[in-house]
A and B are shown apart, each in its own frame.
Chain A
């Protein structure tokens, strides 16, 4: 029990480490993990890292990056030390996520119908007026079960005091769940002994839950509907995941040109046996590329007529077109109010305090404190356009300031939280690295949350950027019984 001597010096003041802090309080699983890794020699750790890399390569777990016009498959970066969350805490987080996504879905539905929340003065109209993700084409549509974002990935972080916050909600096409599933597989291969005599909640219910969520959307409640995953194709960075999920669910992986919409607004896929009707589409393509009849007319990724079919209720699309209206960092700032408004409850998981640059007073504050805050564009994902004030150069800060003044609506800022760390096997030995957590929330008839989620880790010392496109890695995430119960 406790922290082995070897790691005692790694604890940094003003930091929360997801293994060291619980182990100091004699939490049994964190203590056992530290003990296990503390006993391994540097050579053994290196061997385990290599075994993990090999397993990832043989299992074909990859993501695609672009370099000089070439698509290259990179092995998925994985760290061998797991991250632990206690069941009691997880139960609270799970409830908080369901509450949050439930409210967000009501909000999206409201925005595309009566906009009662605007009329009641809780949500300002100006946010919608300048929203790049508001789709006028979706006004009046009533998707099944009133759900718009069927698959949501919300990013959670923990600060130095140990408080968990929601950092952002990805309501459009969040990715990463396949890596969460595969990380567990890799971990079981390389350290089976760690799983013995211990209850670590399994994560593999997800594909079946995803299937049920999608099947619940079938028009007319059709039994055994035909489901397809719609991918932009092999050059997309998440193509591995698209292919993996289709395979795990036993459904077809289609590209836009595989689909066709007839004059009765039915969607079909082209097969060697002729046309076959599709009932539910899990799309991994952005709104603007879905249907050239309605959005980008020159998109070759989508299918002409898809929006017609969806609006006519002949096909279900997950996530629904337009769901991204709530996936805007300006909207984010209002989520606590949104929860109170629709659920009549206090938010279970707090938001990170957020300054809206659209507000002159808040903008002034941000511009004066650029060296302290994190500045984010309202509508980007993957860590693009992000400015971490304290780590940025003067010229980077100046550049961002110019952009903020030019288009204040497009920018928000947050205090630079000291993200929690987890001990990580780095090239120079075991050291703390910053992490976040992306659980996935499924919503249709019922809601379900992944058991834990994808822990992403910034592999570079001190870095706060965890995105795989920016050199981040990942860890297996364990939900364990309090007190180490068996």
Chain B
């Protein structure tokens, strides 16, 4: 027996932890990439906001898009529902509801993560060394949390809802990384410096911790279409769209009356498989449209989960 509300809390719990970790990875990769860019005037910190899907909230606050403003917004600003601090606080609130259904280790790991992100002033994180240590700490503690989940949690509906939340959050992030990266690399950037293109795609892979795995699969220079192909279709890499949605399909299949959700996932998977990267070539519009379509499909999956399990009957 599982209440719809409790199921929803597990689902969002999965989302929040994944989002905190992904946000940390993206900022870390971007910060490191920037060290390689010869002229920092080319750096657009705002890209990070777009990758995190928070442009709307950010613009409404009108706080300027320099480094300090952007990072403050993404790390510690509780007005940003996607900031690392706020996601962890959301997860903490969720834990109050689901605590009796999760192993104690998992609660403890989350409380450690909360302690790590709490009471960190935006100022103290402006120094890049401190920031980097902070972000690595977030990633480590999220990994520890996941270790507790994998190692000690029964594979009941609680686990499956959490996994669905995690995988869909991940899928979302991967689509946004492709989309935003591609946007910034279109050839019309006349002042584009030679080699910068490759640096940025390496950074894109890094932000999904995909660089090493990509290297093992694809040889030669890092090229946009190869990266897109890898992030869309690779069956083995755990952050590719193909993988995240197939894993979601597995999780959904283990829930009661899984029909509608599985159908939505099958349709999203069919779309991914049908997408030929070669045909997109370097036509930005085509790729944008294709990614838009995938995001619509992912939203459809989310909608079907909501409809099937969370919605007031």
Which A residues contact B (CB, under 8 angstroms)?
A: 60, 234, 239, 243, 246-247, 252-255, 257-258, 260, 269-276
Which B residues contact A (CB, under 8 angstroms)?
A: 1-5, 7, 93, 96-97, 99-100, 104, 107, 157, 255-257, 309, 312-313
Could you list 7 A-B pairs, sorted by A, with CB under 8 Å?
A234-B97, A254-B3, A255-B5, A270-B5, A271-B2, A271-B4, A272-B3
Would you call B3 and A270 a contact (CB within 8 A)? Answer: yes
Q: For residue B97, which residues in chain A have a CB less than 8 angstroms away from its CB?
A: 234
Would you call A272 and B2 a contact (CB within 8 A)? Answer: yes
The dominant DSSP class at the B interface is helix
Would you call B1 and A243 a contact (CB within 8 A)? Answer: no
Bound-state Cα–Cα, A239 to B99, Å: 12
Bound-state Cα–Cα, A255 to B4, Å: 11
Would you call A252 and B3 a contact (CB within 8 A)? Answer: yes
Residue from A243, A254, A271, A276 whose CB has the most chain B CB atoms within 10 Å: A271
Closest to B8 in A: A272
Q: Assess A273 versus B256: contact at CB under 8 Å? Given A234-B96, A243-B100, A260-B312.
A: yes
Q: Which of B96, B100, B255, B313 contacts A270 (CB 8 A)?
A: B313
Would you call B5 and A276 a contact (CB within 8 A)? Answer: no
- Give the number of residue pairs across the A-B interface with Cβ within 8 Å: 48
Q: Assess A234 versus B5: contact at CB under 8 Å? Given A272-B157, A272-B256, A274-B313.
A: no
Bound-state Cα–Cα, A246 to B3, Å: 13
Residue from A60, A255, A271, A272 whose CB has the most chain B CB atoms within 10 Å: A272
Would you call A272 and B93 a contact (CB within 8 A)? Answer: no
Closest to A270 in B: B4
Q: For residue A270, which residues in chain B have a CB less than 8 angstroms away from its CB?
A: 3-5, 312-313
Shortest A258–chain B CB gap in Å is 5
Would you call A257 and B5 a contact (CB within 8 A)? Answer: yes
Q: For residue B255, which residues in chain A have a CB less than 8 angstroms away from its CB?
A: 272
Q: For residue A272, which residues in chain B have a CB less than 8 angstroms away from its CB?
A: 2-4, 7, 157, 255-256, 309
Would you call B313 and A275 a contact (CB within 8 A)? Answer: yes
Bound-state Cα–Cα, A210 to B93, Å: 29
Would you call B1 and A271 a contact (CB within 8 A)? Answer: yes
Would you call B99 and A60 a contact (CB within 8 A)? Answer: yes
Bound-state Cα–Cα, A246 to B101, Å: 12
Would you call B3 and A260 a contact (CB within 8 A)? Answer: no
Closest to B108 in A: A58
Shortest A194–chain B CB gap in Å is 27
Per CB-CB distance, the 10 closest pairs between chain A and chain B, nearest first, are A234-B96, A270-B4, A272-B309, A247-B100, A272-B7, A273-B256, A272-B2, A258-B5, A258-B3, A270-B313
Supply 7 further A-B pairs (C-beta < 8 A) apart from A269-B3, A272-B3: A234-B96, A255-B5, A257-B5, A258-B4, A270-B313, A272-B4, A273-B256
Bound-state Cα–Cα, A60 to B7, Å: 22
Q: For residue B99, which residues in chain A have a CB less than 8 angstroms away from its CB?
A: 60, 243
